[in-house]
Structure 1
Amino acid sequence: MRAAGAPAVDEGAAGFAEPDERDLHVMSSLPSGRPGPSRHDSARIPVGACLLPRGRVRWRDLGWHAQFWCDCAALPDLRDRIAALPVPVVIDHFGRIPTDRGADDPGFLTLRDMLVCDEVYCKILGAYRLSPHAPDYPDLRPFADRLITAAPDRLVWGTDWPHPNHAGTMPDDADLLDLLADWCDHDADLLTRILVTTPEHLYA
Structure 2
Amino acid sequence: MPDYLPFDPNPRTPSRKPPPKSIDSQFHVLGPVERYPVRPGAAYQMPTATWEAALRVHKALGIERGIIVQTTTYGADHSVVLDGLAAMGPNYKACANALVFAERDDAYLAKLNDAGVGGARFSFRKELGAVLSDSDYERAIARISELGWYAKFQPEKDGIVANLDKIASLKVPVLIDHMGRPDPTLGKNDPNLRAVLDLLSKGNFWVMLSLGEKTSRKGPPWDDVVPIAQAYLEAAPDRCVWASDWPHPVSVVQPPNDADLLELLYRYAPDDALLEKILVTNPAKLFGFS
Q: TM-score, normalised by structure 1?
A: 0.78
2:175–2:207 contact (8 Å) kept in structure 1: yes
User: Mapping of 1:24-63 within 5 angstroms?
Assistant: 24=115, 25=117, 35=127, 52-63=137-148
Q: CA deviation at 1:142?
A: 1.8
Can you give the 5+ residue segments of structure 1 that lack an aligned partner in the other structure?
37-43
Partners of 1:17 and 1:147 in 2: CA distance: 36
1:118 corresponds, among 196, 203, 215, to 203
Counterpart in 2 of 1:200?
284
Larger radius of gyration: 2
Distance change in 2, residues 1:100/1:13 (3 Å): farther
d(CA) in 2 for partners of 1:29 and 1:144? 21
Is the contact between residue 237 and residue 277 of structure 2 (CA under 8 Å) also seen in structure 1? yes
From 228, 234, 255, the equivalent of 1:149 is 234
Structure 2 vs 1, CA of residues 150 and 26 (structure 1 numbering), >3 Å: closer, same or farther?
A: closer
Match of 2:162 among 74, 81, 96: 74
SS at match of 1:73: helix
Q: Which amino acid aligns with 2:161?
A: A
The letter for the 2-side match of 1:67 is K
AA in 2 matched with 1:167: V
CA RMSD of aligned residues (A): 3.2
In the alignment, which residue of structure 1 is the partner of 2:114? 23
Equivalenced residue count is: 189
SS of residue paired to 1:53 = helix
Question: Does structure 1 conserve the Cα–Cα contact (< 8 Å) formed by 2:266 and 2:275?
Answer: yes
Point out 4+ residue stretches in structure 1 off by more than 6 angstroms: 26-30
**What are the residue-to-residue correspondences of 1:163-182 with 2, within 5 Å?**
163-182=248-267
Question: How far 1:48 moved relative to its partner?
Answer: 6.8
Contact 2:239 2:282 in 1 (8 A): yes
CA contact (8 A) 1:69 1:92 kept: yes
SS in 2 for 1:97: coil
* Residues in 1 aligned to 2:213 and 2:179: alpha-carbon distance in whole angstroms: 12
SS in 2 for 1:161: coil
Instruction: Describe the SS at the equivalent of 1:145.
Output: helix
SS at match of 1:54: helix
Q: State the match for 2:99 in structure 1.
A: 9
* Higher relative contact order (CA closer than 8 Å, sequence separation 6+): 2
**TM alignment of 1:119-138, pairs within 5 A:** 119-138=204-223
Percent identity over the alignment is: 33
Separation in structure 2 between the aligned mates of residue 117 and residue 68 of structure 1, nearest angstrom: 16
Distance of 1:27 and 1:154 partners within structure 2: 16
Q: Is the 8 A contact 2:240 2:278 kept in 1?
A: yes
Contact 1:50 1:66 in 2 (8 A): no
Say whether the 8 Å CA contact 1:14–1:28 is kept in structure 2. no
> Over residues 75-129 of structure 1, what are the superposed CA-to-partner deviations in whole Å (9 max), with x where a residue is unaligned?
5x42xx5344342111100101122232321231121121133131010111111
Q: Quick check: which one's strand share is greater?
A: 2
Code of the residue aligned with 1:140 in structure 2: it is: V
Give the Cα separation in 1 of the matches to 2:204 and 2:120: 25
Structure 1 distance, partners of 2:215, 2:97, is 22
Distance in 2 separating the partners of 1:139 and 1:27: 31
Name the SS of the counterpart of 1:102 in structure 2: helix
Paired AA for residue 4 in structure 1: A
- Is the contact made by 1:93 and 1:122 (CA closer than 8 Å) also made in structure 2? yes
Q: Matches of 1:195 and 1:29 in 2, distance apart?
A: 20
Q: Secondary structure at the match of 1:117?
A: coil
State whether residues 56 and 86 of structure 1, in contact with CA within 8 Å, keep that contact through their aligned partners in structure 2. no
**CA distance in 2 between partners of 1:50 and 1:82 (Å):** 15
